[in-house]
Structure 1
Amino acid sequence: MDDAEVMIGPVNLAAKVDEALAVQAVAFGLDQDEVAVRRHIVLRHLMSPGARSYGATTPSGRLVGFVYGMPNDRTHWWSTVVEPYLRATGTADWLDGSFVITELHVHPAYQGRGVGRGLITTITDEADEQRSILSAIDTESPARGLYRALGYDDLARQVHFPSAARPYAVMGAPLPLPRRN
């Protein structure tokens, strides 16, 4: 599994939703019921104005990572949940003029190889917005470390989504994201 073997590029995520969710299930620890629910959510998100997706694929065409996102819209469910938390920290303005990273997942066998970094920098490079926001489980993890290395700072912590057992952090970064020197 050489880094050079993984190619990052646009992907028709609607056509590869089951393959993408299989990656997410392994990377995020989802059961089949959660995958079924998320399938409908992903397909609905992909119909949002400005939504786009990128995949990390092997030479054989196997999807080993994906990211998708869209310009943030305050009327979307995610924004309505995080807005009170951001208002409490004085950062609610981040909901305007931001590109939201909706999902980013890399198969565990390919983590720590720059795939996640490549996916998130590629998708945000195409954004017209001047900043990016996302949510991540509010614990110290390799994902949070990556986001910090890319310039994301905590905007709000201990954010509780109705369907999630663990609290999340909302993070934001100015665009473009920095590259490794």
Structure 2
Amino acid sequence: MPHTAGRSLPDPRSVVTGPLDLAVRVDEALAVQAVAFGLTDDEIGIRRHIVLRHMASPGARALGAATEEGRLVGFVYGMPNDRSQWWSTVVEPYLRRHGCQDWLDDTFVITELHVHPAFQHRGIGRELITRLTDAATEPRSLLSALDLDSPARALYRSLGYRDLARRVQFPSAPQPYAVMGAWLPLARA
């Protein structure tokens, strides 16, 4: 195993990706998201209800990445976009300003993608998002990400996502987001 600052890093070959019953493993997934994204206990409680509601939506799908022992270390989920859902109603005016509002139609939305920090930078996030979108019947994909230069945004750009709107303010989110879109299938390295 490679070493960083005297600490062993997990072997990415010991991680298996596949279908995830996110409604059953929601607490494990949110524990990964809490570490990866820095969520408070209150935010975890709110997101739990959101995830469970999303997973009841038509076409919602999830994949997980787990160690050989079954420990969940990453997950992704998404669904076909529905303009009546909260996310779409928030991003629509921003997309309209840039002439991109048609991206809300016939699109698969990546709702969440998170990998535990100890397992990041090993291709797990890339595998999760490409496998999920490969199964989509829609011709394109949308997602939102913090509007920062970050490893996540670099990953999305390498997959073919481009900024459609920036400085998107979600109510209750202190930092602005970027809405990114890509034609499917996603680009391969």
TM above 0.5: yes
Secondary structure of the corresponding residue to residue 87 of structure 1:
helix
Q: What do you get for the CA RMSD once the two structures are aligned?
A: 0.4
Deviation at 1:179, TM superposition (A): 1.4
Pairing partner for 2:173 from 154, 160, 164: 164
Runs of at least 5 residues in structure 1 that lack an aligned partner in the other structure:
none
Is 1:81 the counterpart of 2:81? The answer is no
Match of 2:158 in 1: 149
State the alpha-carbon separation in 1 of the partners of residues 188 and 71 from structure 2.
26
Q: Which residue does 2:58 correspond to in 1?
A: 49
4+ aligned runs moved over 4 Å, structure 1:
none
Please list the CA deviations of residues 115-141 of structure 1 after superposition, one character each: whole Å capped at 9, or x if unmatched. 100000010000000000000000000
Q: 1:119 aligns with which of 128, 151, 155?
A: 128
Gap regions ≥5 residues in structure 2: 1-9
Q: How high is the sequence identity, in percent, across the aligned residues?
A: 71
Larger radius of gyration: 2
Name the CA distance, whole Å, in 1 between partners of 2:156 and 2:98: 19
In structure 2, the residue corresponding to 1:54 is in which secondary structure? strand
Structure 1 residue aligned with 2:5: none
Match of 2:137 in 1: 128
User: Aligned partners of 1:163, 1:114: CA distance in 2, in Å?
Assistant: 31
Match of 1:27 in 2: 36
Q: Distance in 1 between matches of 2:134 and 2:164?
A: 21
Per the normalisation by structure 2, the TM-score is: 0.95
Provide the secondary structure at the position in 1 that maps to 2:70: coil
Counterpart of 1:66?
75
